[in-house]
């Protein structure tokens, strides 16, 4: 669960009973919680982690990592996926965070993912591959 930047809305993401990615957006309105979006199958795999860190407060693009190893960016205003790449070779993006972008006043929008395969990758959503990849040494066991 995360608050949408500069708003009275929040997002809840996870796994539906069918194992698909579930996303719900809610808005606080006069002391009541009003659903904005309720989708129990927004992603083919369950959603593990989300962040608004690399998005401006006006755009409200939510980056998410899932149990299938994908990194996606979802536009909360249009309810559409605007970016998607394979972030892990062995599934499960365990953690995600972001920083920068035009709304922050400095730097490119960047995301970082940590995955079950032991890798840490830095992403610039303007390109389709990671800009930095840190992986466990060949022959060593990956730490989840």
% of residues, the chain, pLDDT over 70: 94
pLDDT at position 104 is: 52
Alpha carbons 33 and 73: distance in angstroms, whole number: 25
As a whole number, mean pLDDT of residues 18-40 equals 91
**pLDDT tens, 44-63?**
899 999 999 888 777 889 99
Residue 91: pLDDT band (50, 70, 90) is confident
pLDDT at position 101 is: 62
Alpha carbons 66 and 89: distance in angstroms, whole number: 12
pLDDT over 70 at 102, yes or no: no
As a whole number, mean pLDDT of residues 104-129 equals 88
Average pLDDT, the chain: 89
pLDDT over 60 at 105, yes or no: no
Residue 41: pLDDT band (50, 70, 90) is confident
Q: Which of 57, 67, 75 is nearest to 96 (CA)?
A: 67
pLDDT over 70 at 75, yes or no: yes
Alpha carbons 70 and 49: distance in angstroms, whole number: 11
pLDDT at position 144 is: 64
Q: Which of 38, 105, 45, 90 is nearest to 72 (CA)?
A: 45
């Amino acid at each position: 669960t995360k608050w949408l930047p500069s708003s009275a809305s929040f997002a809840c993401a996870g796994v539906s009973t069918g194992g698909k990615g579930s996303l719900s957006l809610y808005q606080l309105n006069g002391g009541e919680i009003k659903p904005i979006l309720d989708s129990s199958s927004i992603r083919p795999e369950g959603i593990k982690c989300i962040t608004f860190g690399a998005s401006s407060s006006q755009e409200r693009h939510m980056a998410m990592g899932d149990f299938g190893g994908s990194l996606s960016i979802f536009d909360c205003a249009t309810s559409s996926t605007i970016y998607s790449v394979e972030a892990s070779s062995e599934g499960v993006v365990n953690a995600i965070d972001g920083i920068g972008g035009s709304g922050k006043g400095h730097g490119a929008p960047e995301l970082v993912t940590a995955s079950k395969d032991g890798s840490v990758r830095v992403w610039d959503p303007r390109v389709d591959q990671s800009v930095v990849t840190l992986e466990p040494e060949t022959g060593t066991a990956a730490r989840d």
